[in-house]
Amino acid sequence: MRDVVVIGAGHNALVAACYLARAGLDVEVVERDTIVGGAVSTVERFPGYLVDRGASAHIMIRHTGIVEELRLDECGLVYLDLDPWAFAPFWTGAPGESEQVGLTFWTDLDRTCDSISAVCGDKDAVAYHRWAREWAARNERVFAAFQQPPHSRTLARHAFTTSRAASAPPGEMARQFLQPADQMLDEHFADERLKTALAWLAAQSGPPPHEPATADLAGWNALMHRLPPGRPVGGSGRLSEALAERLRRTGGRLRLGDGAARITRGAAGRADGVLTASGEHVRARAVLAGCHVLTALALLGDGERVDRLRRRVRVGNGIGLVVRLATRDLPRYPCAADESAHQGLQLLAPSRQHLRLAYGDYLARRPPAEPAALVMTSSAVDPSIAPAGRHNVTVWGQWHAYELSTGERWDDIREREGARLVAQVDRLAPGFAASVEQMHVQTPADLEREMGLVRGNVMHVEMGLDAMFALRPLPELAGYRMPIEGLYLCGASTHPGGGVFGASGRSAARVLLRDQGRARRGKGGAAGLFRGSTARGIGILRGRLASSRERLAGPARKDGS
């Protein structure tokens, strides 16, 4: 009998498995796919092209210390910094008939402000310098809360310290966090182009920036002025492969191509293992489901209690659609002075009104007539993922509904909608569409079929205020414990949510170890493993970012701020 069987080999599940194995537990991971990583995986989609299946830029996990704690560099993980981390081009008039200007966001805050000053003027540059310092400081504390189980006392303590550090009354701090991102941007900035770029960044979590409680979905991006996003050499999936290697080196087992078909229970109703698709019963003292919460509930059966929980989880109606391209060239933006525009996220939304129209189509369950696009040109950073002289380009479109009201089926319109996204890129990089040689479209239905992202929601559960922190995915499931004794849950369905993060896996491992009575001192015990784990991770980050923080608070800009 194993100590723990983990369902799924997504990156959060693998993080949990690594910490559990490092604590001395006998751990086995069972995965239905033939490769590890789920939405953090890379495959040869076209001959000679290593193409990500899900996420490409790794942002949050770099702020956790997990990579360093698990020594993933020893397991082959090498990160390339994406700096600048974002580029946003805009036509000053009709596309192709006017001048184009671009905003470039560097890790160096002063360099970013110079770009803003050139396009939007000195006033917005000074305002951005102040805003970035304030929201980065706040989000250090938010990320500290993200790296611990979502207990009310923990969240209250971080909220108090955030308010005190910001020298703002708790009521004002609450107002600022609960306001729409658009309102916050209007309070700080004048130029619509700067506000559009930041609003499109904020929208990447799912909710549109005009909805309440989205301000920090924009504000947390200020942390990228302290540490840039990373790109694993060889593809996004190299993170998951390094985690799998760490698990093996620590004595854990990984079973691919034979996932869980059912969670089994003993006579007392306690979870006692999983029955795999091949019919093997993997018995264990505890089960940790690293899959979607609805998948975990389905593996329990169709009891009345499970059905009630299933109906209350707010999964939503998809988020977006992805186009993977093999091209002869990169997008060539007329305003880009050099190749730095291709390093990070390319934000192709002409206005906030454009975002609202796309979201309106999403609410009406229509394919967006004018989708907003986000481009990643990963082969410009890592040439190893494409043949010589060719490029590997990803275009993400938001918002695309899983269920359509038009009577159309995604399998019938995927090529049309993929071409529509490519056309959006071509408007800002004329000639790009002609460079496309191969195209693979991942519709919301494909995201569900290929990677278990129920209803095409890459965040598993909506990232609204009613499904965050101690409410995610439901209040009674928020502590990583399922309603069956011995059964636990981690992944994007749980706190702190979606994205390449890993914090959910580490926190779930901590909870499981404590419940299993292994919180004893010394090697192999939870106390030894997690003693100061969050503080250690934050300490690693703070040490690495000390010089960046000094630079952020460094020379005053033109108004002396």
Which DSSP letter does residue 60 get?
Answer: G
Domain range for 292: 2-45+59-78+233-313+461-530
Binning pLDDT at 50, 70 and 90, where does residue 167 land?
A: low
For 68, the enclosing helix (H) or strand (E) is helix 66-69
518 in the same domain as 469: yes
Q: How far apart are CA 280 and CA 186, in angstroms?
A: 58
182 in the same domain as 126: yes
165 in the same domain as 117: yes
379 in the same domain as 277: no
In-domain check, residue 410: yes
293 in the same domain as 357: no
Would you say 557 and 109 are in contact if contact means Cβ atoms under 8 Å apart? no
The residue from 432, 456, 480 where one domain ends is 456
What's the whole-number mean pLDDT along residues 166-176?
A: 82
What are the phi and psi torsion angles at 136 (to 5°)?
-65, -45
Would you say 50 and 384 are in contact if contact means Cβ atoms under 8 Å apart? yes
The residue from 397, 432, 456 where one domain ends is 456
Predicted local distance difference test score (pLDDT) of residue 269 = 92
In-domain check, residue 99: yes
Predicted local distance difference test score (pLDDT) of residue 486 = 96
In-domain check, residue 282: yes
Predicted local distance difference test score (pLDDT) of residue 228 = 96
519 in the same domain as 449: no
Place of tokens 């770029």: 197
Query: Token pair of 10, please?
Result: 């997504």
Q: What CATH number is associated with residue 420?
A: 3.90.660
444 in the same domain as 320: yes
pLDDT in tens, 451-484: 999 999 999 999 998 999 999 999 999 999 998 9
Report the percent of the chain where pLDDT is more than 70: 89
Which DSSP letter does residue 164 get?
Answer: H
Place of tokens 């993170």: 239
Residue 554 scores a pLDDT above 60: no
Burial class (CB in 10 A: 0-12, 13-18, 19+), 304: exposed
439 in the same domain as 320: yes
440 in the same domain as 349: yes
What's the whole-number mean pLDDT along residues 488-508?
A: 97
In-domain check, residue 539: no
Q: How far apart are CA 314 and CA 462, in angstroms?
A: 6
In-domain check, residue 331: yes
Would you say 143 and 65 are in contact if contact means Cβ atoms under 8 Å apart? no
What's the whole-number mean pLDDT along residues 64-76?
A: 97
What's the whole-number mean pLDDT along residues 84-96?
A: 93
Predicted local distance difference test score (pLDDT) of residue 95 = 85
What's the whole-number mean pLDDT along residues 57-61?
A: 96
Predicted local distance difference test score (pLDDT) of residue 528 = 46
In-domain check, residue 118: yes
Binning pLDDT at 50, 70 and 90, where does residue 302 land?
A: confident
Residue 101 scores a pLDDT above 60: yes
Residue 69 scores a pLDDT above 70: yes
End-to-end CA distance of the chain: 62
pLDDT in tens, 13-52: 999 999 999 999 999 999 999 999 999 999 999 999 999 9
The alpha carbon torsion through 550, 64, 464, 37 (nearest 10 deg) reads 140
In-domain check, residue 425: yes
Between 274 and 549, name the one with better pLDDT: 274
Between 170 and 470, name the one with better pLDDT: 470
The residue from 435, 456, 477 where one domain ends is 456
Model-level pTM? 0.92
Q: How far is CA 333 from the centre of its chain?
A: 27
Query: Token pair of 517, please?
Result: 């009575």
**Structurally, how many domains does the chain consist of?**
3
Predicted local distance difference test score (pLDDT) of residue 164 = 57
In-domain check, residue 504: yes
377 in the same domain as 324: yes
Predicted local distance difference test score (pLDDT) of residue 170 = 81
Residue 243 scores a pLDDT above 60: yes
Cis peptide before 368 (omega within 30 of 0): no
150 in the same domain as 265: no
Q: What CATH number is associated with residue 74?
A: 3.50.50.60
Burial class (CB in 10 A: 0-12, 13-18, 19+), 122: middle
248 in the same domain as 121: no
Between 237 and 267, name the one with better pLDDT: 237
